[in-house]
Amino acid sequence: MGRTRVVAVLLCLGLVAGACSRSDSDEGGASDASTTTATAAETTSADFGTLKDVCGPGDPKGSTAQGVDDDSIQVGTFSDPGFSGRPGLNQELFDSAEVFTKWCNDLGGINGRKIALHERDTALTNVQARTVEACAQDFFLVGGGAVFDNIGIKDRLECMLPMIPGFMVTPEARDSDLFVNPQPSPPGAISIGDYRWLDKKYPDAGKKIGVLTGDIQTTVKVANDDTKFVTDELGWDVVYSDRYPAAGQVSWSPYVQAMKDKGVKGLIWVGEPENFAKLQLAMADGGFKPEFIRAAPNQADSQLTEIAGPALVGNTYMYSGNLPFEEAKDSPALQKYLELFEKYKPDAKTKAFLGLNAFSAWLLFAQAAKQCGADLTRRCVYDNAKKIHSWTGGGLHAASDPGNNKASGCYLELLATPKGFERVKIPTNNGPFNCDAKRNGFVITEGSDVGTHLSDVGKTMADL
């Protein structure tokens, strides 16, 4: 994906990259026709899609770095499920971490060292405290993310703690040091190929555009960047712009009525699936149907279809760097992902794009760490990860360039329906994806150098 803030907008309270908020009623992939029942041979295989021998046995010796001894590797994962305003927020990051580590450890670990997982609940506002804890114990941070990931950056760099995140949100985090993002979202990079596609498909809608986003700094930044592109580059006219309480709104009817009064024909939504579903219900009740609604990939979540149901009337689109779960039968990597969840955590929220992002991060970490052999150090893992310039997570997503932190410029288009998410026919040039980087990737250079770097804390790569 061109942008995961989200997504990456990755993320509840209106961020990108994936899907958010755990639903206890989610049955995972067990009941879907596209999901195959896992066999012992399938789940115990060390292969994942195109990746071979992800984990396996060995006979390592020595405490080679903080968090590493003869038998184990201490790894931390951040997420926000303890946030009281949205219990279970981004629980799928922890779910993916648990499933991956159980699978990897069953295979023998990474060259014989088992992964000791530390789930560090940042609960939205406790990022710095969890960072300090990780600094004292963890070898790496892997597969996680925090809504306020601009907090604690200085602490992480001072203790030289590298990470391979599941998603990154704020420009400050995405412009910092000591990370390798499996699906890069450098500062200012936004995915705009689908905007061009919508502009062509609905030529009149651009005359009356609405923008609705959560009232939180990170989501407002996303909405502002998108608004800048559609007005400056596409010539769209934004006639309505508003913010809603990020923790949720009692009634969505006032927003619907305001958009009707303004004659909104195309809506840009920045938020999370549960709120989006409630807005869809209010739109159906109010008889309001714009020509299109454009959302980030985190809306491709089972919560949207379960809550909104028939209110999804064929006008809700989202761009994505992942195949929908409905097409798992055509993707060995997606099949394996669902099989592993069925074996190791069948009650988890399986079908969330943010979970896929997190799993890709774990696969990249394992790939980079495995190449270090018994002499496992932070520098070795980090350097190996930086050498990876073509990465799909074994086939979970479109090809990306983690080593250069370069947005892929690839996307496919999804349509939300009461039964799930359908892939829309768009021009493609790389399998199911449109990878026309010149048309799909637009970078806002203004304000991109906003991160904290090693030099700001008196460190260099020699200290790693």
pLDDT of residue 441: 66
pLDDT at 2 over 70: no
pLDDT for 43 equals 60
Q: H helices of 299-452, where?
A: 302-308, 332-344, 353-370, 378-386, 437-440
The answer to whether the 8-188+328-407 and 191-325+409-443 domains have the same CATH topology is: yes
Percent of the chain with pLDDT over 70: 89
- Give the pLDDT confidence score for residue 409 in this predicted structure: 82
What phi and psi values does residue 311 have, to the nearest 5 degrees? -70, -15
Mean pLDDT (the chain) is 88
Please tell me the distance from the alpha carbon of residue 173 to that of residue 148, in angstroms, as a whole number: 9
State if pTM tops 0.95: no
pLDDT tens digits, residue range 152-174? Answer: 999 999 999 999 999 998 888 99
Q: Report whether pLDDT(431) > 80.
A: yes
Instruction: Determine the pLDDT at residue 458.
Output: 97
Tokens of 225: 């960047």
Query: Residues 218-227: what's their mean pLDDT?
Result: 83
Question: Which pLDDT value is given to residue 444?
Answer: 53
pLDDT at 216: 79
**pLDDT of residue 111 exceeding 80:** yes
Give residues with Cβ within 8 angstroms of 119, minimum separation 6. 77, 79, 94, 97, 98
Does the structure show a pLDDT above 90 at 187? Answer: no
Domain spans, the chain:
8-188+328-407, 191-325+409-443
**What band does 442 get if pLDDT is binned at 50, 70 and 90?**
low
Could you tell me which of 164, 153, 93, 86 has the C-alpha nearest to residue 124?
86
Please give the average per-residue pLDDT across 308-327, as a whole number.
93
Residue 140 near residue 72, CB atoms below 8 Å: no
Higher per-residue confidence, 222 vs 202: 202
Helices (H), 243-320: 253-262, 273-285, 302-308
- Which of residues 263 and 408 earns the better pLDDT score? 263
Task: For residue range 35-83, list pLDDT tens digits in order.
Answer: 334 445 556 799 999 999 999 999 999 999 999 999 999 999 999 999 9
Specify the higher pLDDT residue, 430 or 53. Answer: 53
Q: Residue 413 above 60 pLDDT?
A: yes
- Give the SS3 label for residue 90: coil
Q: Where does 4-69 have alpha helices with state H?
A: 40-44
pLDDT digits (tens, 9 = 90+) for 3-34: 333 333 333 333 433 333 333 333 333 233 33
Q: Which residue bears the tokens 């004659």?
A: 263
pLDDT bin (cut points 50, 70, 90) of residue 266 is: very high
**What pLDDT does residue 460 have?**
97
pLDDT of amino acid 238: 97
- H-assigned helices in 175-216: 193-201
Topology of domain 191-325+409-443, CATH: Rossmann fold (3.40.50)
pLDDT computed for residue 25 by the predictor: 32
Q: What CA–CA distance (Å, rounded) separates 409 from 407?
A: 6
For the chain, what percent of residues have pLDDT higher than 90? 69
Is the predicted pLDDT of residue 102 greater than 90, yes or no? yes
pLDDT at position 42 is: 57
Hey, which CATH number is domain 8-188+328-407, 3.40.50.2300, 3.10.20.600, 3.90.1150.30, 3.90.1570.30? 3.40.50.2300
> What is the pLDDT averaged over residues 313-325?
92
3-state helix, strand, coil in the chain (%, to 5): 35, 20, 45
pLDDT tops 50 at residue 235: yes
Residue 138 has pLDDT above 70, yes or no: yes
Q: Is 363 helix (H, G, I), strand (E, B) or coil?
A: helix
